[in-house]
Amino acid sequence: MKLPDNIYTQVNTLICKTVTENLIAKNVLDDYIREKRFNSTIRNALTDYFFKALRFYGLFSSGHDIENDETITELIAKTKYNENFPSKIIGVNNFVSKKIFENLDKDTFLSFLQRAPLTIRVNSLKTTREYLKIKYPFFENTGISPFGLYTTKHTNLRQLDEFKKGFFEIQDEASQLIYFLVTPRYREKILDLCAGTGGKSLLLNSTGVNPDIHAYDISPARLNILKKRAKILNQNIKILNKPSGKFEKVLIDAPCSGSGSMRRDVDVLLRLDKSKIKSLMITQKNLFEKAYNLTEKGGYIIYVTCSFFAEENEMQVEYFLNNFNVENVKVSTIFDSHINTLLKTDTFYKTNPLQFNMDGFFAAVLKVL
């Protein structure tokens, strides 16, 4: 659907303002739609256009027709892949453009420019994948995760009765597979150190194994959301005001650039710069030190990011190994043969959209000696 000219004018102004003022795109669009009270047809078309323009902001800001997929494909094909390519196509600054080029080949980078599917994790304490597939035939099984379903259909999953009843959580398949790296066991004392709103805490406690899950986050507001979701999902998560003592396993879902989730948060790299990366790396190191002091000898630290930048991933692990009494455990020795074969795992857990249409995730498992 083509939008009316006056809406194009307003939205194009909003797109440029979002980037130049480093605003969060979703908030900008939500405020605009709420103010204008558009019908669902215009709202869907507007949303598609808004986020596509941000996904290809380099082309959009250069005056190209980003609504024409053939034009985009042609421009990408004739542009040489070098350190300036990401800047020309998605409009990131030169620092981020160079980092993308250093970490991704062209095909992998282009896979991050596709729209992500809507992926859910079924709460097996309340229902099954089979039930949800019968109720909502647009769902399909995820490629690897036994908990997951996905759809490419436009739908507001949070408005479904099954979401409100705790039958499922919205969670990318790559994130779901972290369960098999942590491998929670009965009454095993596990700390989710950066719990946020609890996606991974709920994941670890969702299969009936009954581990002893503790959750902490610097944001009380996020923990309150976790508390509410845990109640709806009938899960016992211990919310901590401050973590103390020793744990058998500590999960660090570390604050990061979010580069691996750029399909969903299309503006995340437009707000990134060198100083932000440096600040994030300091935070990641501080979190690892905290996790190290909270992990018993012989226990494990699982370090996770949704980033494909080596500075936040392999280089951080090298720092951990050089500065703490830990050893790296190859993820191929933790995953079962099925996952190892499909993901071709070795030392680290790394995913991208070319692998079963997953987000870009990284994980390392370190044993405290």
Residues 268-288 pLDDT 10s = 999 999 999 999 999 999 999
**278 with 290, same domain?**
yes
250: left (phi over 0), alpha (psi -120 to 50) or beta: beta
**194 with 157, same domain?**
no
**168 with 246, same domain?**
no
Helix (H, G, I), strand (E, B) or coil at 365: strand
Q: Tell me the residue type at 179.
A: Y
Give burial (CB, 10 Å; 0-12/13-18/19+) of 167: buried
* 3-state helix, strand and coil shares in percent for the chain, rounded to the nearest 5: 45, 15, 40
Distance (Å, rounded) from C-alpha 335 to C-alpha 178?
A: 10
pLDDT band at 40 (very low <50, low <70, confident <90, very high): confident
**302 with 339, same domain?**
yes
- Given this model, what pLDDT does residue 75 score? 94
**214 with 73, same domain?**
no
- Given this model, what pLDDT does residue 208 score? 87
Distance (Å, rounded) from C-alpha 217 to C-alpha 303?
A: 15
Boundary-marking domain end, from 53, 78, 103: 78
The structural domain count of the chain equals 4
Distance (Å, rounded) from C-alpha 92 to C-alpha 239?
A: 38
Q: Other C-beta atoms within 10 Å of 74: how many?
A: 12
Q: Look at the chain and count its residues.
A: 369
Boundary-marking domain end, from 88, 111, 134: 111
**204 with 289, same domain?**
yes
- Given this model, what pLDDT does residue 11 score? 94
Please answer whether residues 362 and 307 qualify as being in contact, where contact means their C-beta atoms are separated by less than 8 angstroms. Answer: yes
Report the 3 state secondary structure along 132-150: HHHHCCCCEECCCCCCEEE
Q: Tell me the residue type at 118.
A: L
Which domain CATH number covers 146? 3.30.70.1170
pLDDT band at 221 (very low <50, low <70, confident <90, very high): very high
Distance (Å, rounded) from C-alpha 360 to C-alpha 120?
A: 17
pLDDT of residue 292 exceeding 90, the answer is: yes
Please answer whether residues 25 and 266 qualify as being in contact, where contact means their C-beta atoms are separated by less than 8 angstroms. Answer: yes
**181 with 295, same domain?**
yes
Of 165, 237, 162, residue with least CA distance to 205: 237
**228 with 294, same domain?**
yes
Of 353, 60, 135, 52, residue with least CA distance to 44: 52
For the segment 175-195, the average pLDDT, to the nearest whole number, is 97
Which residue reads 């919310």 in tokens? 239
Of 119, 122, 118, residue with least CA distance to 131: 122
How many percent of the chain have pLDDT more than 90? 91
